[in-house]
Amino acid sequence: MSRIKLFNEKALELIKKEMVRWENEILKDKGGDEDYFTESGIPIKLLYTPVDISELDYLQDIGFSGDEPYVRGVYPNMYRGRLFTVRQLAGFGGPEDCNKRIKFLLDHGATGVNIVFDLPTIRGYNSSDPEAEGNVGQCGVAIDSLEDMEALFDGVPVDEISVSLVTHLPSVSVALLAMYVVMAEKRGIPLEKLAGTTQNDFLMETTIGSAPEILPPRHSFRFQCDVVEYAARNLPRWNSISYNGYNLREAGTNAVQEVAIAIANAIATAEELVRRGLPVDSFARRMSFFWDLCNDFFEEIAKCRASRRVFYKVMKERFKAQNPRSLLMRFHVQTAGITLTKVEPLNNIARSAIQALAAILGGAQSLHVDSFDEAYSAPTEEAALVSLRTQQILQTETNIVNTVDPLAGSYYVEYLTNEMEKRIFEYIEEIERRGGIVAVTESGWLHREISNYAYEQQKAIETGKKKIVGVNYMRSEQQEPEIEVFRYPETEQKQKAKLEALMKKRDNAKVKECLEVVREKLKTQENIMPYVIEAVKVNATLGEIEEVFRQEFGLWQFPLT
């Protein structure tokens, strides 16, 4: 298709000529001619004009909201038709403790919940395991069994709200999604009514590292694809995967790498699912993404817009998707935890609000705003409420949700969007030249990319090159006011007691039989989900299921040498 440029050549030539005059006569000797760069290293000019986007074809490159190439948003009327989901994190203590926080958030206007799990759960250990000691119920909720999953959502209308299970590792996603499915079935809720997301990203297990004992990348990737396949066949409203750019960014990537690595994983997933015989339109519409929005306001907005265009081109041109929903990139945003400071923690309210504003201007489908005290611990009820109210103020008091993509047409934002797209595609090509996302994980190349960026960022902070208010810039001499820090409820002994009681009352012979079936199926190429669901139904615990995975596949070490 031939391109129709938005600006005519005569106008562009006149602008170029006048800009030379402006630089020589008006700007001359005014200063400000140092080099500036975005967080991703894109040079920033003092002033942008139509010349910087002279090749722009409006209909091909930007278009309209809800239409190809979806740069302006995935829905035609965007927030007028559907406000972004106000989705706050909840996760601490035992399931009974966390259940109260879920209800508190819903009672105060949250329209979805993100459940985070404690480290033993994320690592696939029961609360009674020696590996879990000291971490049960810390930084997330402890879930050992189907009974715990039932307690977590007791009285919560899971058929009416959207629930995100922040499961991190695909192996844990298999077990916890199985528990969630069985919990819903026992309550008589049809699976087609379940709306939500599992994180289920193998890079969380093999690259970012929530646990020192991890499964080899190829087996973790297999579990990731098993969950996607199961959901495509059984859970029509469930986002089977949330490609986790967020934790990549927190670990050490820039905005370009964050998006490129996540989409490279989506490409590998699509190739595997097609190899298994699924049409691309049967699963692509339920792929979702998770972005981390930091403080570079315009670059983050451009990232959101560019990522939609990249995903659209990949699905349209590479995978020949036909269903328009397969071409839409839907994403959740969490404000950047890595930007929160322990020093002057109330400043974090401003940081998170600015990042949340960028998320909305970038067209996010759901949003979590970090709380000001999260550099210390899980948020207190007061801090969580401030985050919730921040979202509600943005939705109702600012008018920003009443027009679509209001920064479209900004010479700077359109230039950044184009530049981000180009650099994202280049990084995806680099990954594929090295064998694809699984291969660069196995080789350690991806780990080195992340560690190198993290090192450079930390060095920039310590040398003062990167300024952080209150930390290395404009430090206050006044004594900081004390803030209330959340204290975790005692959980470990309660979870151990529940596990002991469960193992006494269940049919242990049946549990053993189901786990042996899981073990045998791991040696085949069959999808493991149905067999794990059967094990969950007879009350096999998370730790028991995960131990079978560890025994059959062995453990893998990061190749950082």
d(CA 395, CA 417): 25
* pTM, two decimal places: 0.94
Q: Which pLDDT does position 181 carry in this prediction?
A: 98
Give the position of tokens 């298994």: 276
Which residues pair with residue 239 across a beta bridge? 197
d(CA 40, CA 299): 8
Residue range 370-398: mean pLDDT, rounded: 93
- Do residues 416 and 299 touch, judged by C-beta distance below 8 A? yes
Q: What does pLDDT average to over the chain?
A: 95
Q: Which pLDDT does position 113 carry in this prediction?
A: 86
CATH number, domain 59-440, options 3.20.20.240, 3.40.50.410, 3.30.360.10, 3.30.70.270: 3.20.20.240
Give 163's contacts (C-beta < 8 A, 6+ positions apart).
112, 113, 115, 153, 180, 194, 195, 196, 197
d(CA 416, CA 85): 27
Question: pLDDT-derived band of residue 220, with 50, 70 and 90 as boundaries?
Answer: very high
Residue 302 half-sphere exposure, CB side, CA atoms within 13 Å? 27
Give 446's contacts (C-beta < 8 A, 6+ positions apart).
203, 207, 261, 431, 437, 440
Q: Which pLDDT does position 351 carry in this prediction?
A: 98
- Do residues 141 and 98 touch, judged by C-beta distance below 8 A? yes
Instruction: Show the tokens assigned to 1.
Output: 């298709």
Q: Let me know the angle formed at the C-alpha of 128 by 123 and 130, rounded to the nearest 5 degrees.
A: 70
Task: Pick from 206-215, 413-422, 475-484 the range whose average pLDDT is largest.
Answer: 413-422
Give 154's contacts (C-beta < 8 A, 6+ positions apart).
99
- What percent of the chain clears pLDDT 70, i.e. is strictly above it? 99
- Do residues 177 and 532 touch, judged by C-beta distance below 8 A? no
d(CA 263, CA 318): 13
Distances (CA, A) of 221 to 166, 284, 360: 17, 17, 32
d(CA 96, CA 457): 40
Task: Give the pLDDT confidence of 496-544 residue by residue, as tens digits.
Answer: 999 999 999 999 999 999 999 999 999 999 999 999 999 999 999 999 9
Give the position of tokens 């020093």: 343
d(CA 299, CA 309): 15
Given a cut of 70, whether residue 211 has pLDDT beyond it is: no
- Do residues 363 and 74 touch, judged by C-beta distance below 8 A? yes
Given a cut of 90, whether residue 222 has pLDDT beyond it is: yes
d(CA 6, CA 9): 10
> Within a 10 A sphere around the Cβ of 189, how many other Cβ atoms?
16
